[in-house]
Structure 1
Amino acid sequence: MPAASPVDPLLGDSPDALVAALARWIGDDGEARPQEQRLPAAMFGEAFAVGGLTAAAKWTAPDQLLVAAAALSDALHHGEIAAPPDHAALSFVAQDDAPPLIVLTVPLALAARWPPAAAWRRAHPDAAASHVLLAHRAMLPGSEGLVRAGRMLALTPRESRLLAALARTGDLRTAAAAEAIGYETARGAIKAALAKSGFARQGALVATALQLDAIDDPSPIHLGDHLQLAIGLSDRQVALARLIALGSTRDEAARRLGLGRETAKAELKILFQLVGVTSSVGLSVVAAQLGIAARLLAASDIGATDLAAASEPLRLISRSGDRAGRIAFADYGPKGRIPALHFHTATTSRYYPRSYIARLQELGLRPVMIDRPGYGFTDMIGGDYTPQAARDALDVADHLGAETFHVIARGGTMLLAELAAHHRDRIAHAVVLNPEPAPYDDARMAGIQGSYKRIFYTLPRKIGPLTRYLSAHLSDSVIERIASRMFGGSAADQRIFADPEVRRAYVYATRLAAIQGGVGLEALSIAELCGQPPPIADGGFITILSGEEDAMYRPEDSWPRLLAAWPGAGAQRIAGAGRLLHIQHPDLVAAALHEGSQKSRKPRQPGR
């Protein structure tokens, strides 16, 4: 009898089996066992230049940027590129007067696991290659620069190109010369980029931009043991390298590590020599490349970020006041309209199908999708989770210059309630889709839905381990299988989920929800377990829509407490709609926002 797969408990109807799996997976302290701490990753294939290597280390069907990189060709000629037959590997390629280039080589037999390598293989099925080589395009002369990261950080084309040149050279003066601009002009451009992005130092900005450009992972750079294995650095030198790469000054890093100033200065000098750089910016560039490679090599599964996601108008802004961290949101426009802020569910994130977004725009809306704290690219934050998430929403609206905004709450009912109670003047209209009931009111506890609900409702101490377990095992195929089972017998949901665009968007949104290890899901779940919507005087600006085929929640369980807290709110049951109500009926979503809840119409009571 074949051994059970680690993902089997995720797909079953038994909460006991899921709890037993967690007990096997976590230690006595509630933390994941080290061998299981491997999260999925998503990489942006267009960020990598790809080429095949023959058994004799010769190019076959390479990207021309690779061929033009003299240092890379020289390293291949001298046999300096690692190409083991049974696993992926990384190599340092030394360059004159520039930070080393880090490349990945993947055996052809493993190419299917690496989306850019798999795409190259499909495009060149007859190429006589033993390995596929991947290098970050932005690090190669002649590339278009850090396009995706530049868009996220709201950089101008000049700033984006200069940032890429700074990554390639490790020195602003040299980067200015490469871009044929004056040094003072370059200083001004980088100063503007630092101000926009909220970074204090060039190295931290460059490192983050490289990371954002290549993979969907906002977590701080993790160097793994590759620096120690490849160069022979000590633990202290690795710790120093990481702090410098993240933007600390030498003195700040020294204090953090308990080192004297002169000791840190001497260690940093040795570190520069060993790594092959001459500046802190150069060290940040190497650390960023290495962090990307380490993340991908350690991933339990690697998925692709498709072109629609890659061209997402994603922005990262700093939180207001003394609140630390950044907020991620995508403003699809058009400008001039009231923003319609989307609040995602507990297990997804800001990403939605482009066809849905386009339809909302046709219906007169301006979709703005936000990652809640601990989800996607929005940093986790301490304090009361729901009020902090509300402040994030207000920060986004303020950044857009919007005095008022609409709310489309697929999840986040308590978040809307917080805003309605304390910032009513900022909300124009709101629509709540398939709202969740209080745990003690939820009567839909059968099947796989009930399995997960029982853990969240009755075993709150298991939420943390469960979110980490989910994060470690969520491959694309597992996400699709869980979603299909969660939709249950809803013909409407199964029909819409069969659309490849919808399925890709759902998988990607779920991946984004997991990339921080589930910290957002854990905090949100605990905050909302006992949450009650604060009462307001007039809920006439709110409409509740529930699909009659929603397999997760019943309106008769979720409506009463909301209608009691929001007197005057409208409520409708939608026939032929399920969990994916927003995609099935975007016209109803838009109508609710344009018309309000039509206070004169009494809500249709559940069950009628």
Structure 2
Amino acid sequence: MQARTVILSSGRKLAYAEYGDPAGVPLFYFHGWPGSRLQGEFLHEAGKKRGVRVVAPDRPGIGLSDYQPGRTLLDWPADIRELAAQLGWENFHVFGVSGGGPYVLACAHAMPDRLLSAGVVCGAPPLREVGTRDLLWNYRLALWGQRHVPLLLGPGLFAAGQLMRLPADSRLMRSFIRKMGARDQQALFNPELFRILMASGRAGITSSPRAVTTDGNIYSSDWGIDLKSVPYPIRYWHGGQDLNIPHTMVERFVHQLPNARLTILQEDGHYSLPLLESDRILDELLNEAGPA
């Protein structure tokens, strides 16, 4: 999909892509890490069938969006307010996957009156609250590298971007995917879903190292949100076989949110849940009764 941009009041450019039904109900999609606006394509067909207009923005410094020095998680709702105004949206759904999950929480905290529903799939938890011990090793390595050897992040991100250019049937990629659970393998050996995920990852990870690092640092930062003070009814879905972000980490913080509801799909992993269950999850999200 062709990228579109808006200019915010700060003068920054914010890029986004559109999927689904152009005349449909508004939904903002928040991509994972490392990812980009291109990740929203996995909702294209589901959105078309359900009359949902999906707008997937690049976060600041990611993809085609301008960098925002010193940004915090709670800077995001202001960008979404401005983007919504330029799109002519008064109320909208917000939906995030993996690293996009905290941005859903930020919107539920900062502008609950604007939301039609809020949903998170395989969402990243506040690491200051739950710790990093259970994270997948490569996430822990990235966090360690950000703190101790930041000069290696540029070459490391470049290497990861090159790996994302490999086809699913290459020996190295097949070996990597075969280490995952059965449902994740099913998702990633689907050529179309693999293409979407890799294209999104390349666009995100090949942004400037400074921007990717800033985006990653959000997860281990102080989010500035008292979880007990967020009454908006956020829906969480998580895979019982998620190796990237084990469901136990999410359980440790979701119960602190007064009206959040967590559904564990026992057979699914980090990739299969959003990629193979998007129809089911979107149906459930659209059926949520938000207060807007």
TM range (shorter): 0.7 to 0.9
- Structure 2 residue identity aligned to 1:444: D
Cα distance between partner residues in 1 of 2:180 and 2:277: 19
SS at match of 1:521: helix
- What root-mean-square deviation, in Å, do the aligned CA atoms of Structure 1 and Structure 2 show? 2.6
User: Partner of 2:156 in structure 1?
Assistant: 470
Question: RCO higher in 1 or 2 (8 Å CA, sep ≥ 6)?
Answer: 2
Any residues of structure 2 matched to 1:78-93 within 5 Å, and which?
none
Is 1:558–2:247 an aligned residue pair?
no
Q: Is the 8 A contact 2:104 2:119 kept in 1?
A: no
CA distance, structure 1, for counterparts of residue 209 and residue 167 of structure 2: 15
For 1:527 and 1:354, locate their aligned partners in 2 and report how far apart those are by CA, in whole Å: 24
With the length of structure 1 as denominator, give the TM-score of the two structures.
Answer: 0.43
Q: For residues 87-136 of structure 1, what are the alpha-carbon distances to aligned partners after superposition, in whole Å with 9 as ceiling and x for unaligned?
A: xxxxxxxxxxxxxxxxxxxxxxxxxxxxxxxxxxxxxxxxxxxxxxxxxx
> Structure 1 residues 543, 597: CA separation in 2 closer, same or farther (over 3 Å shift)?
farther
Amino acid at match of 1:522: T
**Aligned to 2:176, which of 485, 490, 498?**
485
In the alignment, does 2:128 pair up with 1:437? no
CA-CA distance at 1:438 after TM superposition: 3.7
Residues 331-350 of structure 1: pairs in structure 2 closer than 5 A: 331-350=18-37
Distance 2:174 2:65 in 1: 24
Q: Answer whether contact 2:31 2:39 (CA < 8 A) is retained.
A: no
Distance 1:469 1:483 in 2: 23
1:316 aligns with 2:9: no
| 2:95–2:104 contact (8 Å) kept in structure 1 | no
Partner of 1:371: 58
Residue 330 of structure 1 pairs with residue 17 of structure 2:
yes
Q: How does 1:97-176 map to 2 (within 5 A)?
A: none
Per-residue deviation, 1:484: 6.6
2:116 is equivalent to residue 428 of structure 1 = yes
Q: Distance in 1 between matches of 2:104 and 2:51?
A: 22
Deviations 1:151-177 (A, max 9, x none): xxxxxxxxxxxxxxxxxxxxxxxxxxx
Instruction: Report deviation, 1:589.
Output: 1.9
Q: How far 1:562 moved relative to its partner?
A: 2.7
Which of 106, 111, 119 is residue 418 of structure 1 equivalent to?
Answer: 106
1:405 aligns with 2:96: no
Q: Tell me if structure 2 keeps the 8 A contact 1:326–1:379.
A: yes
In 2: Cα distance, 1:325 partner to 1:371 partner: 12
Question: Shift of residue 459 of structure 1?
Answer: 4.7
Please point out which of 196, 202, 214 is paired with 1:511.
202
Q: Which residue of 2 aligns with 1:524?
A: 215
Listed one character per residue, the Cα deviations across residues 572-602 of structure 1 (whole Å, up to 9, x for unaligned) are 011332112122111232123222279xxxx
Distance 2:132 2:240 in 1: 16
Q: CA deviation at 1:378?
A: 0.7
Q: Match of 2:38, SS?
A: coil
Do 2:236 and 2:263's aligned partners in 1 also have CA atoms closer than 8 Å?
Answer: yes
- How far apart are 1:461 and its partner, in Å? 2.6
Is the contact made by 1:468 and 1:518 (CA closer than 8 Å) also made in structure 2? yes
Q: Contact (CA 8 Å) 1:371, 1:378: kept in 2 or not?
A: yes
SS of the residue 1:367 aligns to: strand
Matches within 5 A, 1:275-294: none
Deviation at 1:467, TM superposition (A): 3.5
- Find out whether 1:574 has 2:265 as its counterpart: yes
Q: Secondary structure, in 3 states, of the residue corresponding to 2:238?
A: strand
Q: 1:479, CA displacement in angstroms?
A: 8.7
Q: Secondary structure at the match of 1:502?
A: helix
Structure 1: which amino acid aligns with 2:212?
L
Q: Hey, what's the Cα distance between the residues in 2 that align with 1:386 and 1:466?
A: 25
Higher Cα radius of gyration: 1
In structure 2, the CA distance between the partners of 1:560 and 1:380, relative to structure 1 (3 Å rule), is same
Offset, 1:537: 4.5
Residues 146 and 213, structure 2, Cα contact 8 Å, conserved in 1: no
Change in Cα spacing, 1:517 to 1:571, as seen in structure 2 (3 Å) is same
- Map of 1:389 onto structure 2: 76
Asked if residue 498 in structure 1 is aligned to residue 171 in structure 2, the reply is: no
Q: Which runs of 5+ in 1 are unaligned?
A: 1-311, 599-608
Q: In the TM superposition, what is the alpha-carbon distance from 1:530 to its structure 2 partner?
A: 2.7
Unaligned runs of 5+ in 2: none
